[in-house]
Amino acid sequence: MRRPFLPTLVLACSLAVPALAAEPAKPARAPVKRVCVNVKDGSKAVQGTDLIIEPGEKIKDAVAVDGDVIVKKGAVVDNDVAAVRGRVILEAGARVKGDVVSLGGEVRVPAGARVDGNAVALGGKLKVDKQEDVGGEKVNFSMELNGEDLVKQVIGKALDEDQKCHILDDDDDKDV
């Protein structure tokens, strides 16, 4: 049985919002460029760079934080694809058997690509060439005020608050 992805995602985002309202503004600091890769149980995750799923490659989940996930023609993702402050880009001939989600970026599903689950863009644009190429719901939520996307700002602030956040690999799990 497949676990519901979207309710968990919405809950996590809603829990971050109250913390943002109470925090005073902090001085801006230079962005930290980090790359963390986790290939655990057939899944891949990166931070600070793009994740490219190559033709013929078959993985479970794909996640990029501060980067894009690009699923090339002929690649298959068995579960979900997510980009936080990045885009999810499928090429024609790519397939995602679960959901595709972008927080603070866009989702592109061109004609000939296939998403069996939901396609969700929060704080960005959802571009689906053929509606039938997405098997689930198509959700696009973006709110602009004076040319600034408020949803993208909330997501960015939530992530900036916790700069200690990183992707764990197998060695990090053993130390906890």
pLDDT in tens, 36-48: 565 668 899 998 8
What is the spatial distance between Cα 141 and Cα 162, in angstroms, rounded to a whole number?
Answer: 24
DSSP H stretches of helix in 29-149:
none
Residue 104 in this model has a pLDDT that exceeds 70? yes
The continuous run of DSSP H or E covering 19 comes out as helix 6-22
Does residue 48 form part of some domain?
A: yes
Q: Tens of pLDDT along 115-151?
A: 999 999 988 899 999 999 999 999 998 877 787 777 7
- Residue 165 tokens read as 């956040």
Residue 161: pLDDT band by 50, 70, 90 thresholds?
low
Residue type, 69: V
If one counts the domains in the chain, the total is: 1
Does residue 176 form part of some domain?
A: no
The pLDDT value given to residue 55:
94
Does residue 10 form part of some domain?
A: no
The residue segments making up the domain with residue 53 are 37-162
Beta-sheet pairing, 51-53 with 69-71? parallel
What is the spatial distance between Cα 176 and Cα 171, in angstroms, rounded to a whole number?
Answer: 9
Degrees (nearest 5) of the Cα angle 131, 57, 119?
25
What is the spatial distance between Cα 33 and Cα 37, in angstroms, rounded to a whole number?
Answer: 13
Residue 10 in this model has a pLDDT that exceeds 90? no
